[in-house]
Amino acid sequence: MDVSIIIINFRTPQLIIDCLKSIYTHTFDVKFEIIIVDNDPENGGGDLVRAIYPEVNWIDMDYNAGFGRANNRGMSVANGKYFLLLNADTLLTDNVIKRCYERLENRQDIIACGALQHYEDGSPMPFYKSFNDFRRTFFILPPGGVVDKIMHRLFPEPSHSDPDQYDWLVGAFVFVRREGFEQTKGFSEDFFMYGEDVEWSWRLGLLGKLCIFEDCTFIHLENKNPFRRTNISWINRFSTQMQVSNFLWIRKQYGVFSYLILVFHYLLMIPVVYIWKMVLNLKNSGNPFSELRTQQIYYRKTKVLLKYFFRTLFLKKELYKITPDENIDLLTSSHS
């Protein structure tokens, strides 16, 4: 078997049907199997998919294990020389799987590769191109030339001799050698959603290059889920689940000091964002308390991060999944 394609289902049967159709339409000259891991068998609509594609290897999880654990389950039974981790909300537009297969067959220095994401209309989707590119966005600082220069000095861009090499691969499309999974044991099973692809990329990068090729593309529809961002603003850039995962990644990859600096920064910014907005409100309406909703959301999200402080600090082994009462994005979305 050349390639094992692993897709996670969570109540998205039609998306998976469309994804599978694109795979079968565009993939040829390579032997592949498809493994689907269902994180919610009772409500996942698996019968709809299996009725059309009975040949897929369908695995039911006992609980909603999240992205990393479910992919690890799929990879553990895969027969391919290479694994392709593919999101359910993706569509292939050409024989990108064969292209990735040939690249890794010819380049033993590459442990895994990815593809460029496009929106449904075919326009390119932006993404973080390095660890430090991502880390800089965690800090809530006023935009400007001086601040940007300081942040780029503290978190500089890496220098790769290979123009196709990147720090990390987006989890929606990861084409990895079997030994990449076997030697790293796959995703860290502490992550529920978000951040696990960044952390695994770091460990994969210790084994070989991670590359993204410009002639390898796919469509990413970005299916909605209850953990997505709402009320996005300068101070609320990430969803609550994203932030819990982001902080966990920083602790795992960069250690205690970097984690504590980030926590201290978020605590320090609570009075800063309130005072700044109150002064602005006073100037605009004469009432300093007239509009503080964004600041209140920031405060509530930071309180959730603090609930996970000691568990993250000491890297307690568990599934870092926020509870419904901690999902500030979902709780505040109806008031958008």
pTM, full prediction: 0.93
* Gap between the Cα atoms of 83 and 93, Å rounded: 19
CA distances from 95 to 22, 27, 84, 317 (A): 10, 5, 13, 40
Question: Residue 63: inside a domain, yes or no?
Answer: yes
Q: Give the residue numbers spanning the domain of 313.
A: 240-333
Least confident of 89-103, 136-150, 195-209: 136-150
CA distances from 277 to 31, 232, 282, 286, 289 (A): 58, 16, 8, 12, 9
* Gap between the Cα atoms of 135 and 246, Å rounded: 9
Domain boundary among 189, 220, 251: 220
In the prediction, which pLDDT does 225 show? 64
Q: The CATH number of the domain where 41 resides is what?
A: 3.90.550.10
Judged against a pLDDT cut of 80, whether residue 242 lies above it is answered with yes
Question: Residue 91: inside a domain, yes or no?
Answer: yes
Domain boundary among 220, 252, 285: 220
Domain count across the chain: 2
In the prediction, which pLDDT does 227 show? 59
Mean pLDDT of 289-298: 93
Are 59 and 189 part of one and the same domain? yes
Question: Residue 151: inside a domain, yes or no?
Answer: no
- Mean confidence (pLDDT) of the chain: 94
When pLDDT is cut at 50, 70 and 90, the band that residue 336 belongs to is: very low
The 10s digit of each residue's pLDDT in 206-217 is 999 999 999 999
Are 324 and 182 part of one and the same domain? no
Are 198 and 258 part of one and the same domain? no
Are 306 and 212 part of one and the same domain? no
The 10s digit of each residue's pLDDT in 9-67 is 999 999 999 999 999 999 999 999 999 999 999 998 999 999 999 999 999 999 999 99
Question: Residue 152: inside a domain, yes or no?
Answer: no
Question: Residue 150: inside a domain, yes or no?
Answer: no
Are 88 and 17 part of one and the same domain? yes
